[in-house]
Amino acid sequence: MSKVSKADRIKVVARLLGERVCPKCNKKIDSLLYFSKVEVSQDFDLDNGEPNYGSMEDFGDHTDDHYACPECFETICTEEEDAVQFMKRPG
């Protein structure tokens, strides 16, 4: 009789249990993807005439930080604190 779909019920139950489920695609996820924009610097020289880049170093501030679902790539949160809380839920 319920008009609530099975997917919606799973979503609600998962939320009640505090499970680690993506709020966008409802898939259980074991980790988040961290995205950030940051300027990097690398040593640059030539190796046998070919461009050769050294290891990358952060150079400047990280901007547009966000934590996304690895399944649907939707942003789940933008604060590390919220991401930590999200990961503390049972998977």
**Which residue ranges make up the site for Zn ion (CB under 5 A)?**
22, 24-25, 69, 71-72
If the CB atoms of residues 40 and 72 are measured against Zn ion, the closer one turns out to be 72
Please report how close the Cβ of residue 87 comes to Zn ion at its closest, in angstroms.
14
Least distance (Å) from Zn ion to the CB of residue 88?
Answer: 18
Choice between 57 and 74, CB closer to Zn ion: 74
Nearer Cβ to Zn ion (27/37): 27
Give the span between the Cα atoms of 81 and 31, in whole angstroms. 15
Give me the DSSP letters along the chain. ---S-HHHHHHHHHHHHT--B-TTT--B-S--EEEEE--EE--EEEETTEEEE---EE-S--EEEEEE-TTT--EEESSHHHHHHHHHS--
Residue 44 CB, nearest approach to Zn ion (Å): 38
Measured between its terminal Cα atoms, the distance across the chain in Å is: 31
Q: Tell me the closest approach of the beta carbon of residue 89 to Zn ion, in angstroms.
A: 14
Question: Toward Zn ion, which CB reaches closer, 27 or 43?
Answer: 27
